[in-house]
Structure 1
């Protein structure tokens, strides 16, 4: 692997910032519900095991000859490696870290990938918006026709203090594994964009090890500011509701992954799913004693909109700085 120091540092920064921002959408509920129930070592083994498997499968399915492969699942085909990799490319993951602390559902795809290839920004936005619409419609239909019944039961049993059946914990592990694997297929491009597009098996394994170290830190500390987006929605802290959300989220990402290899913002897919679900559940359960819907959804869209604006500003600002690097 012919990578300079800035690429290695960029990879480490991106791994930490992307995991801290995006993967909490996929692992946040799993971590909170297993707190005090499942040993952290077992949680680390599960999360890292799925990550290693996804990277390995991606590497095998996208060979380049000569024992090289692409663990990013071919999603960087339209994002060639820069000829001159300088400190300037460290700015996007640093910006992600800053926005994460604010609790903004920023799209790491917009912020990181647009900085490498600004001309792809429009396609990134359109692909992400289509993912938002797909997730929104799916949630609106599924919860409007059927899953509102589960949400009604969840509200009732929570008020009665009834314990969750053990089989829900097993279902949660399955849905988390499903979603986590699909998220990795989509978002590894945001991390591996800092490394050469083709890696040997040893290089891929080393990068996976570094990524898993970051995941272990995530499991150890748990949670983060971005979880506020999830907590503001109906029943999302409940294991049963979160299990269904994870499964549907994974299905949309799987669907999009099979339609196109071009990256998208998983954050926007997540927001679309939550928005469709929130509208359907409120209508079906006739809930009027909660924070107004326009405030809940408007806050999410505002922060996500800020994320897009900041992403594009950073991506455009980096371009003239490249000549200085």
Structure 2
């Protein structure tokens, strides 16, 4: 056959595309090889220790402690880290670490050994686990893997739902979290739609030192409110009343884990913050943290039921980003890109919810029966 001039090649260039994709995956594997080996080792270790409750609870706590704080760092200290890049990491760590120690000690002393601010007093979570199943220890490892790939999963659902005895508690947690997302989205959207031009007028030139002081104070308050809400996610593996030695181990591990997180500047999940508009400026970061802290404080006062602070934070960033684009009268392309970012974050937290529900049903026979009854209706 004579090939006509200008004709397309008879064999498509698929091998090149496959080769390119293979090389990309190979590069990712080589970059993450040590981490993937750690995940594999952790999953094996979880399988070895889960039949021994006294050991399993501390192994589960260790995995949950680091994975929960690493994933949720974008909410509470993400803007703090990115807007204080010129500050030494150890000063940031000592500031947030001391707030953590004071907060958790207050709960432990005033609530007779409870470090969760009674968030674990919710029916279905009020009893410490006497036996563990493998998936309960594997869940925080899965969370750690998702964190590595920049997925802002709700730690409340990933870690608490696997210990919840009834589906009613999970439904209540989901409803409260959805309400938190809606309130955060609406509040940020209205605030930035009405005040974005005023805010932009402030965010010009070099920030006054008073903004830095205000941001550290507000970030500290936000960190305290987050701890009140989310310490339950870590403490769920442990007895509901900790003895003195147990409390020292609990608080010491998290304090050192915070140091590692600040040293790594938030690690991979920090990308969720970095891609948003103007968060590097201390004035913008201060406003974000203040709105977020007030919303969390409101929901803290509503009741002691745990909720997903991740959903609240994602809603806050989404409402802010959309309002700023609309107020700036950006082109349809830029607004479309904003909706794409919002959708990507919503998909991420939804994936986490689906995974957590699957794990909860797989672990809990009561939920399996409830699901069967619902499907057979």
Same fold? TM cut 0.5: yes
Kindly tell me: are residues 49 and 308 of structure 1, through their superposed partners in 2, closer, same or farther at Cα, counting changes over 3 Å? same
TM-score (norm 1): 0.88
* Cα distance per residue 1:246-303 (max 9 Å; x no partner): 1111111111011110100010000111122122222222222636232121111111
SS in 1 for 2:77: helix
**What residue number does 1:108 align with?**
155
Give aligned pairs, total. Answer: 307
Q: What secondary structure does 1:4 align onto?
A: helix
**48-57 or 302-311: bigger deviation:** 302-311
**1:306 aligned onto 2:368:** no
2:193 corresponds to:
144
**Residue of structure 2 equivalent to 1:34:** 84
Q: Secondary structure of the equivalent of 1:287?
A: coil
Mapped partners of 1:208, 1:190: distance in 2: 14
Post-superposition shift, 1:202?
4.1
Tell me, yes or no, if the aligned pair for 1:96 and 1:106 is still in contact at 8 Å. yes
User: Do structure 1's residue 244 and structure 2's residue 287 form an aligned pair?
Assistant: yes
Q: 1:71 corresponds to which residue?
A: 115
Q: Distance in 1 between matches of 2:79 and 2:237?
A: 29
Question: CA offset at residue 86 of structure 1?
Answer: 4.3
| Partner residue in 1 for 2:184 | 135
Q: Which moved more, 1:246-255 or 1:278-287?
A: 278-287
Is 2:227 aligned against 1:184?
Answer: yes
| 1:104-253 alignment, distance < 5 Å | 104-117=151-164, 119=167, 120-151=169-200, 153-154=202-203, 157=204, 162-253=205-296
Structure 1: gaps spanning 5 or more residues: 64-68, 321-325
* Bigger mean CA offset, 133-142 vs 121-130: 133-142
Shift of 1:238: 2.1
Change (3 A) 1:52 1:101: same
- For 2:273 and 2:313, the matched residues in 1 are separated by 10
Q: Is 1:92–2:135 an aligned residue pair?
A: no
Residue matched to 2:12: none
Structure number with the bigger relative contact order (C-alpha 8 A, sep ≥ 6) is 1
Q: Distance in 2 between matches of 1:148 and 1:198?
A: 50
1:59 CA drift (Å):
1.9
1:8 aligns with 2:52: no
1:55 and 1:133 mapped to 2: Cα distance? 29
Secondary structure at 1:76 match in 2? helix
The unaligned stretches of length 5 or more in structure 2 are 1-51, 366-377
User: For 1:55, which of 82, 104, 107 is the aligned residue?
Assistant: 104
Question: Per-residue deviation at 1:62?
Answer: 2.0
Deviation at 1:108, TM superposition (A): 0.6
C-alpha distance in 2, partners of 1:227/1:212?
Answer: 19
User: Retained in 1: the 8 A contact 2:63–2:140?
Assistant: yes
d(CA) in 1 for partners of 2:283, 2:250: 34
Let me know the Cα RMSD of the aligned residues.
2.0
8 Å CA contact retained: 1:171, 1:243 = yes
Q: In 2, are the aligned partners of 1:151 and 1:235 still within 8 Å (CA)?
A: no
Residues 27-77 of structure 1, C-alpha deviations (whole Å, 9 max, x = no match): 122223333x333332221111000111012223323xxxxx211100001
CA gap 1:196/1:127 in 2 versus in 1, 3 angstroms: same
Q: Give the aligned partner of residue 46 of structure 1.
A: 95
Partner of 1:290: 334
Contact 1:176 1:246 in 2 (8 A): yes
Conservation of the 8 A alpha-carbon contact between 2:83 and 2:282: yes
Cα pair 1:25 1:227 within 8 Å, conserved? no
